[in-house]
Structure 1
Amino acid sequence: MRTRLVNLWLSFSSSFWFVPGVLMVAGIGLAILLPEVDRQIAGVLPTFLRVTGDTARTTISTLAGAMVTVTGIVFSTTTVAISITAAQQGPRLLRNFFAKAVTQTTLGVCLAVSVYCLLLLRTIDEREGEFFIPQVSVLAAYLFVLGALLAILVFTHQVAGLMQTQNVASDVADDLDSAIRRLYPDAMDPDAEESDDSPAWRKCWEGFDDEASRAVSAPGDGYVQAIDIDGLVRMAKSRDVLLRVEARPGDYVREGDCLLSVTPEDGFDDDDAKQAGVAFMFGKLRTPQQDVECAVLELVEISVRALSPGINDPFTAVTCVDRLSGSLRRLAGRKPAQGLWRDDGDEARLIVKPRAFADVVDAAFNQIRQHSRTDVSVTVRLLQAIEAIAPAARDAESVEALDRQAGMILAAARTAGHPKQDLKDIEDFYNRAVRSLGTSADAAAS
């Protein structure tokens, strides 16, 4: 349940309607509440802060019209910024733009002040020859408009920065680092012996009785965004079964694909299968909540778009490679993600194949390597990234993945038709990366 609530909250908070909608409702509430406060504390404000009835009506009417116009301008500016971001960095990166608090808050503040002023107009009326003038409410309208203008000033500055590619790459890299800290919370102890957790999950995976198992099928198409692990473990314990997750977060599943295998099948009926399927949360896009590769591929997308013939911006690609190298180095120093969950009685209940460091390395390097074959600067920076990551690689599998990427980078460069001196520089950086990997391999072997 907690996982589903977190996923729902992330969906709401990264949408473009949630914060503006909440603030607009707050504006409506204030427009109803503050005039009632005025009726209770009439005459409290000092004389220099009071206004006449005609002045109050004219002022609020002017502010309402102005704020509606300003809100339209803010929406137009946001739409232009979205179009530019989608064209330059890709539509999948709009998630980061929508999630920015300054964008949502500015739109919400402008909507809230507009609605507040419009509703406040109806409270300034004349009854039996006397005006009811909500003095506190009018003063609040002045303050709200000033706050909205300040928000627009901050918004203008932030939007100018949000459209710069290096800032987009930095934001995505921050999301990647957050996902690494969340999904790989434990740092690896260089002096500790290899953990038995990975062999344990692998042994359970390979020993899973496929003949006596049943499958839980996907109800529709979409990306697996998150899985309620705790809920599945509780369910497996109550049914006395072992579950094996076949579709990890980030995987695309089609209707009827296997999400989960259950053994023994005798203790699991159709209602249980339907309930287990609810533990999987689907969506149209991948999210980094439980999928570290999502943020990696977003950085890769920025880099690949920058290397396209229509843009030809290797500097952006180099920036993305630099940020990837820092994140991958931190990931290499973390313990592998948990793959086996047991109940209170130490009975294995759930197996999930962890996403290995080698998989993340391949996701980070493959497409950039393929698209940068003819660009010397990006090729060199990829080799420098491997050299930087290598000291943090603590196991043979990680070293092998980095070594494989270095070899493919060099092989691609040799077929790209570079001048001899450029190729010599690439080979020098390759040799440096291999030496660094050799040191890491010796450390892993010892």
Structure 2
Amino acid sequence: MRSACSPPHFFYAIVTLAWIDRGGDGTVPLFSVLLVTVLLILSMAVFAKLVQRLNDIQITNVLHFIGQQGREVIRTMFPRLDAPAGPTPESWRAAVEAAQRCPVTQTLRYSGEPLTIARFRVAALVRQAQAADAVIVMECAVGDTLVEDTLLLRVHGGRQPLAETPLRQAIQVARERTFEQDPKYPLRLLVDIAIKALSPAINDPTTAVQAIDQIEDLLHRLGRRALDAGCVADEQGVLRLIFPTPTWEDYLTLAFDEIRQFGASSVQVMRRLRAALLSLMDSVTEAERKERIRRYVHHLNLMVEHSILDAEDQVVALQEDRQGLGLSRRRAETERDAIPSP
């Protein structure tokens, strides 16, 4: 038979029984009473902590935590567009093209069980490239899963081959993706929560709208940042490291495509998506990014028009509403008319 109490409880009971009426005085030791009181207070404190932890896993808190991680990685990775002038995207593109025209002098491949790139030790890679007067071009991005014989990097130019061990150590891997150096990951998690909420088994568009709130905030921050973070120079301004980073269009696609597809029949989700896109159009300053958003709004309009919604629901779905359903904005109709077909 299984014991009715845990080993610590059983040990406490045996010790207490051994001290009760010790010496025939007919008393219970004060120590045992005090110990029970302390354990009771400790149990209450642990239970209160457990209740607090259960509150932390409520969906609103989870969404806020993921969004906070995304805001932090955006802040650390990407400089603001209005920051002091640095190399322009055109100059970076010219430097990248010049580096890639140099002959490939070395390649490095992965060997081992499938793992995910967690982060690059950028400073270490730049130092190694500078020492050999070379340019390291990463063929994998943070968040990629590596399998046997995956090409990790190419070395262009250089006076001598780079040591493989330090190169491998500069590419840190883990069993799963992390937030560090990967602004796509918080977006990916938020989108996953949204599309799970939109599944027929759950049917919770309000949670999807709450996820879009966090997604929109991250895109607002990305829209005001210089996204050319994949080019790193040494102290002399010479390009030494190139690694893949997403474009503005990649972020839009990741953030909205699946939600748009799975939420096409939800008036609430369509209205919230439209509000997010029009707000982004007002927020971004680069003409190319505005044009990408404009095309996306046009695509959203077409999807609503070809959805299973009837004519009256389509009119409602084409309105802007930051709450999804609850507060229509007239601006959406006039703004929609001003958006030309791509």
TM exceeding 0.5: yes
Distance 1:235 1:382, change over 3 A: same
Aligned residues: 309
Distance 1:434 1:419, change over 3 A: closer
Cα distance between partner residues in 2 of 1:436 and 1:148: 63
For 2:329, the equivalent position in structure 1 comes to none
Cα distance between partner residues in 2 of 1:327 and 1:275: 34
Q: For residue 403 of structure 1, report the CA deviation from its aligned partner.
A: 2.0
Q: For residue 219 of structure 1, report the CA deviation from its aligned partner.
A: 2.4
Opposite residue 297 of structure 1, the aligned amino acid is R
CA contact (8 A) 2:67 2:214 kept: yes
Q: For residue 386 of structure 1, report the CA deviation from its aligned partner.
A: 0.6
Cα distance between partner residues in 2 of 1:268 and 1:281: 21
For 2:52, the equivalent position in structure 1 comes to 157
For 1:275, the equivalent position in structure 2 comes to 166
Q: For residue 326 of structure 1, report the CA deviation from its aligned partner.
A: 1.8
Opposite residue 64 of structure 2, the aligned amino acid is S
For 2:8, the equivalent position in structure 1 comes to 65
Cα distance between partner residues in 1 of 2:132 and 2:96: 19
Opposite residue 251 of structure 1, the aligned amino acid is D
How does 1:178-217 map onto structure 2 within 5 Å?
A: 178-184=72-78, 186-189=79-82, 196-207=87-98, 208-209=100-101, 211-217=103-109
Is 1:305 equivalent to 2:196 in the alignment? yes
What is the aligned-residue RMSD (CA, Å)?
Answer: 3.3
Q: For residue 63 of structure 1, report the CA deviation from its aligned partner.
A: 11
How does 1:1-400 map onto structure 2 within 5 Å?
A: 65-66=8-9, 146-147=41-42, 149-159=44-54, 161-184=55-78, 186-189=79-82, 196-207=87-98, 208-209=100-101, 211-220=103-112, 221-264=114-157, 267-268=160-161, 272-400=163-291
Opposite residue 227 of structure 1, the aligned amino acid is F
Distance 1:202 1:139, change over 3 A: farther
CA contact (8 A) 1:236 1:243 kept: yes
| The 10-residue stretch of structure 1 (302-311 or 335-344) with the greater mean CA deviation from structure 2 | 335-344
CA contact (8 A) 1:188 1:335 kept: yes
Cα distance between partner residues in 2 of 1:251 and 1:177: 21
SS of residue matched to 1:242? strand
Cα distance between partner residues in 1 of 2:110 and 2:198: 37
Q: For residue 344 of structure 1, report the CA deviation from its aligned partner.
A: 2.8
Distance 1:240 1:434, change over 3 A: farther
| 1:321-370 CA distance string (max 9 Å, x none) | 12211221122122335333222333221123433332222111011111
Q: For residue 250 of structure 1, report the CA deviation from its aligned partner.
A: 1.4
Is 1:407 equivalent to 2:288 in the alignment? no
Cα distance between partner residues in 2 of 1:436 and 1:289: 40
| 1:75-108 CA distance string (max 9 Å, x none) | xxxxxxxxxxxxxxxxxxxxxxxxxxxxxxxxxx
Consecutive unaligned residues of structure 2, counting only runs of 5 or more, are: 24-29, 321-331
| 1:417-444 CA distance string (max 9 Å, x none) | 2111221233444655558989xxxxxx
Cα distance between partner residues in 2 of 1:358 and 1:432: 25
CA contact (8 A) 1:362 1:401 kept: no
Distance 1:212 1:337, change over 3 A: closer
CA contact (8 A) 1:223 1:252 kept: yes
Sequence identity percentage: 23
Choose between structure 1 and 2: higher helix proportion: 1
Consecutive unaligned residues of structure 1, counting only runs of 5 or more, are: 1-61, 69-116, 130-134, 439-446
| 1:193-229 CA distance string (max 9 Å, x none) | 8x53422332222221364343221223322110100
Distance 1:354 1:420, change over 3 A: same
Cα distance between partner residues in 1 of 2:127 and 2:336: 47
